[in-house]
Structure 1
Amino acid sequence: MQTVIETKSLCKTYGRQKAVDHVELHVPQGSVYGFIGPNGAGKSTTMKMLLGLIHPTEGQVFLLGQEMTERNRLALLRQTGSLIETPSGYLHLTGQENLQVVADLKGVPRRDIARVLEIVDLTADRNRKVGQYSLGMKQRLGIAMALLGSPKLLILDEPTNGLDPAGIQEMRDLIANMPAATGATVLISSHLLGEMEQMVGFVGILHQGQLLFEGSLRELQRHSRGSFSLRVLQPQKAAPVLKGRGIAPRLEKGALTLPPLRDEELAGLVRAVAESGAGVVGLTAHSKSLEEIFLSLTQTQEVK
């Protein structure tokens, strides 16, 4: 699989603190890649190194199949759009006027503005002053600025930060459809795993500057699978079924607690409980928190 971003032993040290510690990313072409970790994990530092905004202490960055150097940095960045931290914009100018400023700075024809406004659903608000925009609209305008010139790569740092639920949903839909709508590969960071699960296909988990996991979302979901709560009308009839499958029946808040199970095992167990006459009312899945996944991944590494 061809990669659009690749890093080799990427490090950034500030004094004695290693903010990024030998990170090796592999972002597949045409994907939405979720870069996940708690605040302070090193996500923004890594993204700034990818964009040449800060220099690595050690290691290499490859963008679009080429190692980034001082000689080719600007040429590579012309094919890259980014939104790092707070979106910038002139509040006294309209969305259209802000995009005209950015298009002129990038050397992009102004006719491209209509295309990016359509992608981020701001066409109807193009002539409103940005000072009147909601935070979600400002974020989408920032993405429109990044999309000017049809970049092959889009790097977004926590674009859902501070948004209300409606704004988060709009951003999820926008980003999930970005490769199909624009042809761009997307690298997006967040400290919220739940947000990422609804828009990405690949994931990298960063913790204390180290990459603990990289792979498909499906692979990660194996790590995040938690317990299940099975509500039944007659727990006493379900108990023998659970015992017969090596599961100790445990009743909590009116529901039987089941351990993490594969889909096939879970389906078979629920069917057997239903056939016992226990009266299945509902099943609830409990995913592990990001912190629990970190602990699980760390323990796995230690065992290896």
Structure 2
Amino acid sequence: MQNVIETDALCKRYGSHLVVDHLALTVPEGCVYGFLGPNGAGKSTTMKMLLGLVHPTGGTVRLLGREMTDANRLALLRQTGSLIESPSGYLHLTARENLEIVADLKGVPHKDIARVLDIVQLTNDQHRKVGQYSLGMKQRLGIAMALLGSPKLLVLDEPTNGLDPAGIQEMRELIRTMPTATGATVLISSHLLGEMEQMVEQVGIIDHGRMLFEGPLTELQRHSKGALTLRLLHPAKALPVLQANGLPTAAVGEDNTIALPPLRDDLLAGLVQALADSGAGVVGLTQHTRTLEEIFLTLTAPKEVG
């Protein structure tokens, strides 16, 4: 299995401002890769460099196993589909008419239109004018345009922005199944960790143009585990158990709750069993998820020595 995207020391500078700072990005074939970071972190600029829309100040981009150059850029991009910023389309034309125009521009047979309409679930609405579409339907049409010609790589820049909850759910389902349904590897950007967790397998976190973390989602989730809240019937009986396990005995809060730091699953299971045996009566356990900003602080905190 090759990497579909590899960047080495990729940089983009605007004046004195280094927007992308020696970025090393690795996207394995056949996955949905979440490119995560706050607004202004450099995500869109990186994606535009991957698509040849912005020229790098330094470093290299490899797509589909080949280093992108001026000579091979168009050949590589023919195997790539993208939806950057808002979806484009002629509002006075139907979805099918819009797809016919894009197919002609890409040199793709019109018979491929039925396939992509089916993938994005717009077959029944293909003859409606795009001006009558909801934002979610327009986003799905934009993805259908990107899928014409069966690209090996799909690049999506914050495709759930502005969608209502139903539209977000539809988009999640669509993106999650994309590698299986189309054979395309997907690179998707977002600034929302909770949204990404429901779609992706691999994650890269960028901040101020630098990669802070790259790896499996399961590894990131280890960093995202925040404080625990225990709700007990008899909090006083829990305090000796917490002390015996080396945990801080914080004050008992409202509804007989006690706050605890994040714990490994095996330690947490043992603690809950010990609390049950003590008669403390565990009636609730809530694992809080750190915000993206809190994860950044965890990832960038100085490592303790010794």
Task: Provide TM-score, normalisation by structure 1.
Answer: 0.97
Cα deviation code 1:102-122 (max 9, x no counterpart): 111100011111111111111
The aligned counterpart of 1:241 is: 241
Question: How far off its partner does 1:287 sit?
Answer: 1.1
Question: How far off its partner does 1:302 sit?
Answer: 9.7
Question: How far off its partner does 1:206 sit?
Answer: 0.6
Question: How far off its partner does 1:56 sit?
Answer: 0.2
- In structure 2, distance between residues paired with 1:29 and 1:252: 48
- In structure 1, distance between residues paired with 2:304 and 2:47: 28
The aligned counterpart of 2:204 is: 204
- In structure 2, distance between residues paired with 1:279 and 1:257: 16
- In structure 2, distance between residues paired with 1:47 and 1:302: 35
Question: How far off its partner does 1:73 sit?
Answer: 0.5
Cα deviation code 1:28-78 (max 9, x no counterpart): 000100001111110000000000001000000000000000110011000
Match of 1:294 among 271, 296, 299: 296
Spell out the pairing of 1:35-50 with structure 2 (5 A cutoff): 35-50=35-50
- In structure 2, distance between residues paired with 1:84 and 1:235: 53
Q: What residue ranges of structure 1 are gaps of 5+ in the alignment? A: none
Q: Percent identity?
A: 73
Question: How far off its partner does 1:280 sit?
Answer: 1.4
The aligned counterpart of 2:273 is: 271
The aligned counterpart of 2:124 is: 124
Cα 1:302/1:99, change in 2 over 3 Å = farther
Secondary structure of 1:286's counterpart equals strand
- In structure 1, distance between residues paired with 2:294 and 2:10: 26
Give the aligned residue type for 1:275.
D
Cα 1:18/1:125, change in 2 over 3 Å = same
Count of residue pairs the alignment pairs up: 303
Cα 1:126/1:301, change in 2 over 3 Å = farther
- In structure 2, distance between residues paired with 1:91 and 1:176: 28
Secondary structure of 2:139's counterpart equals helix
Question: How far off its partner does 1:253 sit?
Answer: 3.0
Spell out the pairing of 1:78-227 with structure 2 (5 A cutoff): 78-227=78-227
Give the aligned residue type for 1:48.
K
Structure 1 stretch displaced more, 139-148 or 230-239: 230-239
- In structure 2, distance between residues paired with 1:96 and 1:259: 54
The aligned counterpart of 2:285 is: 283
Q: What residue ranges of structure 2 are gaps of 5+ in the alignment? A: none
Question: How far off its partner does 1:300 sit?
Answer: 4.2
Cα deviation code 1:119-146 (max 9, x no counterpart): 1111111111100100000000000000
Cα deviation code 1:209-261 (max 9, x no counterpart): 11111111111111111111111111111111111101122223331111110
- In structure 1, distance between residues paired with 2:304 and 2:56: 27
Secondary structure of 2:189's counterpart equals strand
Give the aligned residue type for 1:252.
G
The aligned counterpart of 1:14 is: 14
Runs of 4+ with >6 A deviation: none
Cα deviation code 1:163-185 (max 9, x no counterpart): 11111111111101110111100
- In structure 2, distance between residues paired with 1:300 and 1:163: 38
Cα deviation code 1:159-209 (max 9, x no counterpart): 000011111111111101110111100000001111001110111111011
